[in-house]
């Protein structure tokens, strides 16, 4: 096994508090005698945030910033479409091979991850001629199986995916840069983006379209996406049985916890076991005050939202009991979704 490992993040000022915690947890699980090089892709982090991130350096654990601005200046501002909670930083992954010509393999981590196992074990995976190694995205698979053709048509007709069951999560990727350079991978991604001008899940959709049948799938423990139970209390029934089992096994021993989902960060669900692990690191970081304020503001907004929507929750529950057929199912689903949002505030 190599003695040096390169780990890459993308970050803006708003996401620094999460990224700081992620890097801190990464450092806490490193092996003595091995070198860990952390790269942060950015286009203008504030000097204060850069200083805080650099403070995480210690023997055999270094942090460097990589300015992606020189690449982005070749594209118009609207070339990279954004929706939901995505920012331009998510597309920086397209250019990993060009940004790191000296590397054959890098580990890409989203900033909203919490590392609980030494990532050196990931680097020992033989990816062969695959473009990358990653886990399946259980939420995309669940949603597609639950909603059926209505949801699947996008992935099949626009992305050209043969099977949604092989859609991967791009927040934790062991990337085969040697293969990316060999096949001019960045150009292929950009060409695909032109054909899919408004991807539902931004660059992750494009990566899935281009990497199809060239992905090495790894155990779900390496990218445990914690938000699935919050989205669907019946997720075990709405996932194919083997995938539900894999997800539950990963929940028992997650190597990397991924705080995926819009409005589903640790400050949104502070009572959850996974969030408490995050707060153990956040509490001794320079961003504790920022994160605590976010939590307070979100909790206050949650109480207001719950109070405002109690009548709607009662209405959905009542209608789910007196209706029949499709309407009964629709109102039962609406009740469950709203209940999951406001139950803890009632």
Element spanning 10, H or E: strand 4-10
Pairing state of beta strands 61-67 and 105-109?
unpaired
Q: Is the pLDDT of residue 1 over 70?
A: no
Q: Are 193 and 209 in contact (CB under 8 A)?
A: no
Q: How far apart are CA 147 and CA 143, in angstroms?
A: 6
48-80 per-position pLDDT tens digit? 999 999 999 999 999 999 999 888 888 777 777
Higher pLDDT, 328 or 172: 172
What is the share, in percent, of the chain residues with pLDDT greater than 70?
98
Higher pLDDT, 333 or 216: 216
pLDDT of residue 218: 97
Q: Find, among 89, 30, 25, 24, the residue nearest to 53 by Cα.
A: 24
Q: How many CB atoms lie within 10 A of CB 158?
A: 16
Residue matched to tokens 């995926």? 260
Q: How many CB atoms lie within 10 A of CB 51?
A: 11
Q: Find, among 227, 231, 274, 230, the residue nearest to 253 by Cα.
A: 274
Q: Is the pLDDT of residue 338 over 80?
A: yes
186-215 per-position pLDDT tens digit? 999 999 999 987 888 889 999 999 999 999
Residue matched to tokens 């959905």? 316
pLDDT of residue 322: 85
273-294 per-position pLDDT tens digit? 999 999 999 999 999 999 988 8
Higher pLDDT, 109 or 312: 109
Q: Which residues contact 249 (CB under 8 A, 6 or more apart)?
A: 220, 221
DSSP state of 31: P
Pairing state of beta strands 224-225 and 61-67?
unpaired
Put the strands of the sheet holding 256-258 in their side by side order.
Answer: 113-115, 256-258, 224-225
Q: Find, among 318, 310, 316, the residue nearest to 346 by Cα.
A: 310
Banded model confidence at residue 12, pLDDT cuts 50, 70, 90: very high
Q: Which contacts qualify for 148-156: CB closer than 8 Å, 24 or more apart?
A: 154/200
pLDDT of residue 130: 97
Q: How many CB atoms lie within 10 A of CB 109?
A: 24
Give the least confident one: 53-57, 132-136, 325-329: 325-329
């Amino acid at each position: 096994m190599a003695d040096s490992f390169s780990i890459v993040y993308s970050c803006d000022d708003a996401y620094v508090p999460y990224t700081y915690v992620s890097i801190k947890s990464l450092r806490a699980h490193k092996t003595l005698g091995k070198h860990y090089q952390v790269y942060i892709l950015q286009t203008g982090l504030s000097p204060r945030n850069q200083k805080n991130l650099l403070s995480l350096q210690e023997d055999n654990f270094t942090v460097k910033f990589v300015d992606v601005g020189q690449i982005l200046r070749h594209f118009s501002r609207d070339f990279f479409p954004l929706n939901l909670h995505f920012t331009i930083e998510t597309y920086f992954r397209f250019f990993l091979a060009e940004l790191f010509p000296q590397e054959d393999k890098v580990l890409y981590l989203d900033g909203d991850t919490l590392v609980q196992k030494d990532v050196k074990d990931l680097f020992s995976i033989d990816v062969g001629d695959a473009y990358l190694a990653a886990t399946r995205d259980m939420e995309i698979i669940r949603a597609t199986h639950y909603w059926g053709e209505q949801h699947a048509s996008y992935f099949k007709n626009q992305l050209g995916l043969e099977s949604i069951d092989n859609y991967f999560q791009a927040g934790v990727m062991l990337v085969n840069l040697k293969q990316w350079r060999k096949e001019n991978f960045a150009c292929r991604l950009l060409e695909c983006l032109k054909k899919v001008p408004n991807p539902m899940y931004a660059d992750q959709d494009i990566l899935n379209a281009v990497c199809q049948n060239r992905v090495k799938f790894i155990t779900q423990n390496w990218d445990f996406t914690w938000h699935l139970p919050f989205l669907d209390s019946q997720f075990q029934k709405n996932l194919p049985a083997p995938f539900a089992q894999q997800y539950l096994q990963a929940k028992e021993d997650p190597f990397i916890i991924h705080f995926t989902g819009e409005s589903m960060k640790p400050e949104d669900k502070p009572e959850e076991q996974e969030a408490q692990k995050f707060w153990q690191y956040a509490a001794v970081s320079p961003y504790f005050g920022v994160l605590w304020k976010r939590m307070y503001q979100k909790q206050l907004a949650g109480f207001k939202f719950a109070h405002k929507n109690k009548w709607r929750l009662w209405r959905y529950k009542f209608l789910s009991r007196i209706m029949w057929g499709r309407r009964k199912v629709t109102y039962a689903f609406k009740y469950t979704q709203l209940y999951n949002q406001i139950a803890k505030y009632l």
